[in-house]
Chains A and B, each alone.
Chain A
Amino acid sequence: MMLSAPLVLVLLPLIPAIISFALPERLAAWRNAANLVAATVKVGIVADLLRQVRGGVDLEWRYTFLPGHDFLLRVDTLALLFVSLSVFLWLVTTVYAIGYFGRGPNLARFFGFFNLCVLSATGVALSGTVVTFFLFYELLTLATWPLVVHNGDEKSLRAGRIYLAYTLAGSAAFLVGILWLKALVGSIEFTAPPDLSAVPPLTLTLIFVLCVGGLGVKAALFPLHGWLPTAMAAPAPVSALLHAVAVVKAGAFGIVRMIYDVYGIGTVAELGLGPPLAALAAFTILYGSLRAVMQDEIKTRLAYSTVSQVSYILLGASLIGPFAVIGGLVHLVHQGIMKITLFMCAGALANRLGIKAVTDLDGAGRLMPVTMAAFSIGALGMIGVPPVAGFISKWYLGIGGLQSDAAWVVAVLAGSSLLNAAYFLPMLYRAWLLPPPERAGFRELGTTRDRMLVLPAVVTAAAALAAGVFASSSFSPLTWAKLIAERGYLQ
């Protein structure tokens, strides 16, 4: 099994996917069990891999699928960062989704495609060649679409159309970019960056723009972010795992791979591609925050917040300094944990109290104190209040900016933090300090289903807190990000 651990890891969600598609609705309990077991097994496998890879083992699985194009799955430190995040959040979100939907319609379909998404996200993380990455990246689009249109109303269908238009056009640009590069320098493996010295700089720049532009769609880089807020028409578990984590992270992760493993820091610096990308990321950070302030609906506000926060990762990657890289990579994990907390809380509020707009939040803290406590931790983390995880990211990014002679980064971070405060604090104020509307006999954790709805957010909020407090412990995301930086990028 060890030999093909990467393959097992990628294909494992197929089992619950097939079970979910095949089982009739009356056996929903079995379906739930299958999903939970698979998610737990995967956490176990990843935990074992973390141990091995830290010890210096590299595992891979290779298969030639077309001449000159290898299908390669490879477990390295960067891959594991993303995989650990997604398997942990997959397990949490599975519990949450079971609680959220209860016995709603189309659930077989939901869990089936949900598993295919996890398969694709794992594949994206483990891809060892650009083409493999593309395959899973495109598969992710296809597997997410049915989840976006899950509700089947006009709003969801429109969101689905917009989502496909953006992402398919993006991956088409990406495909042209990688094939162009392949035609010039041969096949591209992440562990062995191609020799780009013979390629004219203008061509390289064009290819970089095509690839980063294509990946930027999923990473919701301005002006390619338009799909993300509309995709919030999807049910909360979808917004939570996919739009806050898997899909946007796949884009950001791809850009990190392009910069560090395909072009290499040297070439990116030589071509002068870092500063413009950093500037665009910085603009997206501020723009997303500003738009978030203007939103009244909670989920849309969180979506714009995602637009802003994902660009922290890109900012860190494009600044090309050790601290900035660490800050960007660690934010990949931190943002995921914090944002999923927020989305799961928002879904629980909507599901239990019907709260969808910010103005409805009055007194929510008194009715659903556990949920709002988790929400508050996530929100404070987003603002960057220590000791929640978000502070660590911003700290490293800020120092990274200074190291790379880009002091303006600190200003951007400060501005963004202020804006984050401007859209999160009023929500906390309303929830905790204003009186609730009359609701006799409401109990937050009344049934098992309620607990499955609320407690996952508590787990992720605790994780966000722990990632900040124990940042220097040996298994924290920060330590892992430092390990990646040491092994890969700072030689």
Chain B
Amino acid sequence: MSPLDLLVAAPLAFMVAALVAGQGGRWLILAAGPVMLALSAWLVVLPPGVAHLVGDWDLPLGILLRADGVARLLVPATSACFVAVALYAWHEFSPKAGAETARAHTFWPMLYLMWGGSNAGYLTTDLFNLYVTIEMVSLAAVAMAAMGSLAAGLQYFLIALVGSLAYLLGVALLASHYDTVDATLLAVRARPDLPTLMAITVMTAGLLVKTALFPLHGWLPPAHAAAPAPASALLSAVVIKLGFVILLRLWFEAFAEIIRPAAMDLLGGMGALAILYGSVQAIRQERLKLLVAYSTVAQLGYLFLAFPLIANAQNPAEPWAAVLVHAVSHMLAKAAMFLAAGLMLKAVAGDRISDLAGLARAMPLSVTAFALAAISLAGLPPSGGFTAKFLLLHAAIEQGRVVPAAVLVIGGLLGAVYLFRPLSVAFSGSAAPAVRAEAPLRVAAPLALASLAIALGFAGMTLIELSSVAAPPAVAGPVQAEPGR
């Protein structure tokens, strides 16, 4: 047995248990939480280079699970998100909530399905296996999105289907061409010929749709804003990260030798536009959850803005760490923000930013969680978001790339603009609105996640070390001869 297996198997077992348990499904988190957190901790402390062949079949037949930098950062963060969201959803999706009984039946199994799928996605290097994982995650995500709005859920379903099919087409092309779909083997075998390039193109396009990179983001804001708060949190924090992780595997591992700088720049450019467009849209929103959803569109841009910075770096370890730290911080902060927003909007029974007036006084803990998450999302110190943007800006300036540097700076400022707006409203007025007191247990979930996002800002060296397992290697050749530069 290895934690690598268990991280995938355990959530699936809990999913089955949740299906069987029906109305009692929510109780399972009391067992699943400690188990998954312990497994995640185990994964983090595994010696570097640990890999595991499922069922002991060799490649290319077997499936390789690997504890690389991506997994070491994203698996624990994902577990933290799921545990916090589950604790928050404890009341929301309980049998007592009346009309929401049916949702309680769906929510808990879907949560575990998504959990297992995400973990499998972070751990595996097999491109077909990755297809299975995104289907698992998409299925659960569509079900959750449909809880808020059937129309948004349906749209999301169609988009997810198109994306998956495009990706599967690419996998099929590769399988017939190279007799393997394992990323580590493809890295050795891949040639820049037409079928390979076509495969890369359709797979990338499919994944970008799923990751909602501008201009393919249209489906995200309505779906994420309409869902119930715990579902929104998972959709925005966890689900879209998987497509990004697969893109990392494709672009920096399987086909690192083939992909041209121009393609990297194209992806980086789309990332830059996403940051600017998403931020401007977020500034224009009047509804809080739409603001948070557009913030996701913007924040995803940073993940792709980093692609050319990693590809062109003399020492890619830092931008590589930066992009993973950004993914993790965004995961924690965004989940915290959706949960805090959910608490506040429920308390005031509204959905507009202007409804938040005076909440800093009435709901200080929720507003604190929102504020801490906002600090990380806006890239202000001390926070994981700051560490990530600091490293990216550092890389951009070191490489003399003006455009990414400018976008990073402007994006940070725009982020502050849209994130401080709801906070400003919460601080307005001297009389506290009459809302029910905060339930300490529910507000603990966003508060813990947001605090983690802040705490990451103090652990920069550890995060860089963890992320360095199987990071893209430093550039060989004359450039490296002068490391002091």
Contacts and interface: CB of A to CB of B under 8 A. Distances in A.
Q: Do A and B come from one complex?
A: yes
B447 to A, nearest CB: 13
A44 to B, nearest CB: 28
Interface residues of chain B: helix, strand, loop or mixed (majority):
helix
A139 interface: yes
B3 interface: no
A154 B318 CA distance: 44
B430 A105 contact: yes
B104 interface: no
A64 B461 contact: yes
B460 A152 contact: no
B6 to A, nearest CB: 33
A182 interface: yes
Contacts of B464: 66-67
B345 interface: no
B292 interface: no
Interface in B104-141: none
A138 B364 CA distance: 23
Nearest to A154: B428
A348 B390 CA distance: 44
Nearest to A172: B409
Contact of A179 (B393, B416, B460): B393
A106 B430 contact: yes
Contact of B393 (A142, A169, A175): A175
A176 B460 contact: no
A179 B420 contact: no
Contacts of A161: 420, 424
A66 B390 contact: yes
Nearest to A181: B397
Contacts of B416: 164, 168
B430 A151 contact: yes
Contacts of B412: 168, 172
A85 B387 CA distance: 32
B405 A176 contact: yes
B398 A106 contact: no
B234 interface: no
Contacts of A151: 430
Nearest to B484: A186
B406 to A, nearest CB: 9
Nearest to A175: B393
B397 A180 contact: yes
Contact of A135 (B375, B381, B420): B381
Interface string B413-457: 100100010001001111000000000000000000000000000
Given A67-B461, A157-B424, A183 B413 contact: no
Interface in B80-110: none
Given A67-B318, A175-B393, A180-B397, A106 B382 contact: no
A264 interface: no
B380 A66 contact: no
Contacts of A145: 420
B207 interface: no
Contacts of B420: 145, 160-161, 164
Contact of A139 (B358, B382, B405, B413): B382
B380 A138 contact: yes
7 contacts: A138-B380, A152-B358, A154-B428, A168-B412, A172-B412, A175-B393, A176-B393
List of 4 A-B pairs having minimum Cβ-Cβ separation, nearest first: A66-B460, A183-B398, A149-B427, A135-B381
Interface of A: 64-67, 105-106, 109, 134-135, 138-139, 142, 145-146, 149, 151-154, 157, 160-161, 164, 168-169, 172, 175-176, 179-180, 182-183
Given A151-B430, A157-B424, A176-B409, 15 more contacts: A65-B458, A106-B360, A106-B361, A106-B430, A109-B360, A135-B382, A139-B382, A152-B427, A153-B430, A161-B420, A164-B420, A175-B393, A180-B397, A183-B397, A183-B398
